[in-house]
């Protein structure tokens, strides 16, 4: 199948817009300080509505991952690394690791944010191993 693109909603549009601008922002709770991903209406920790779009450092580490020989998407060449990344700020996000050594990826490996333009409208946040 062809690459599946998101359909942004009212609350997720700022996230996708920030990725397109290559300056990713996620929500931060103004009351308890929790960084939250994916976009939400209330802070899942303290129920505050005071959520502010906030830039992140782009530093993180691999919480877990899997390598598949082939991508499920026709346009994407394998092997593909799907990973759950823990951002320095504490939030986690599912993403891809872009590397020439996919089978060398390890849990705990430091990674940094990069951007991959996948269409006219979308740039995806991806991660690269820190060299």
Partner 1 sequence: MLRPGSEAVIAGLGEPPVGRLIGKNPTELHIDAAMLAIEDSGIDKHDIDGLMTTGTFLNDNIRHHMIIGEQLGIHCKLFADTLRSGGHSYLNGVQIAKWAVESGLCKAVLLLRGDTTLSGVPKGTALKAYIEYGAHPIEFEVPFGITVPGVYAMLAQRHMHEYGTTSEQLANIAVACRKHAALNPKAFKRDPITVDDVVNSRMVSTPLHLLDCSPTCDGAGAVLITSLERARDLKAKPVRILGLGQAQSYYHLAHLARATGARPEDKSRFSLTKTVQSVAAERAFGMAGVKPTDIDVAELYDSFTITVLMQFEDLGYCAKGEGGAFAAGGRIELGGELPVNTHGGLLSFGSSGGINHIIEAARQMRGEGGARQVKDAKLALATNVSAVASNHSIAILGRD
Q: Does 55 bind partner 1 (CB under 8 A)?
A: no
Q: Does 44 bind partner 1 (CB under 8 A)?
A: yes
CB atoms within 10 A of CB 58: 16
Burial class (CB in 10 A: 0-12, 13-18, 19+), 9: exposed
Q: Does 63 bind partner 1 (CB under 8 A)?
A: yes
The CA-atom distances, in angstroms, between 16 and each of 61, 97, 125, 126 are 22, 18, 9, 13
Spatial separation of the C-alpha atoms in residues 58 and 52, rounded to whole Å? 17
User: Could you say which of 61, 71, 99, 112 contacts partner 1 (CB under 8 A)?
Assistant: 71
Site for partner 1 in 80-119 (CB under 8 A): 80, 82-84, 91-96, 103, 107-108
What does the per-residue mask of binding to partner 1 show for 1-40, with x meaning CB under 8 A? Answer: x-xxxxxxx--x-----------------------xxx--
Return the range that interacts with partner 1 (CB under 8 A); candidates 17-25, 48-56, 57-65: 57-65
Smallest distance from partner 1 to CB 21, Å = 18
Q: CA triplet 20, 118, 91: central angle to 5 degrees?
A: 55
């Amino acid at each position: 199948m062809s690459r599946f693109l998101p359909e942004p909603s009212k609350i997720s549009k700022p996230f996708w817009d920030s990725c397109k601008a290559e300056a990713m922002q996620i929500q931060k709770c103004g009351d308890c300080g929790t960084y939250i991903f994916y976009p939400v209406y209330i802070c899942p920790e303290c129920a505050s509505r005071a959520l502010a779009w906030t830039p992140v450092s782009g530093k993180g580490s691999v919480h877990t991952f899997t390598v598949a020989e082939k991508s499920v998407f026709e346009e994407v060449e394998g092997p593909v690394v799907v990973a759950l990344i823990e951002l320095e700020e504490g939030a986690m996000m599912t993403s891809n690791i872009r590397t020439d050594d996919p089978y060398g990826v390890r849990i705990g490996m430091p990674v940094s944010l990069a951007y991959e333009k996948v269409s006219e409208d979308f740039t995806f946040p991806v991660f690269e191993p820190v060299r």
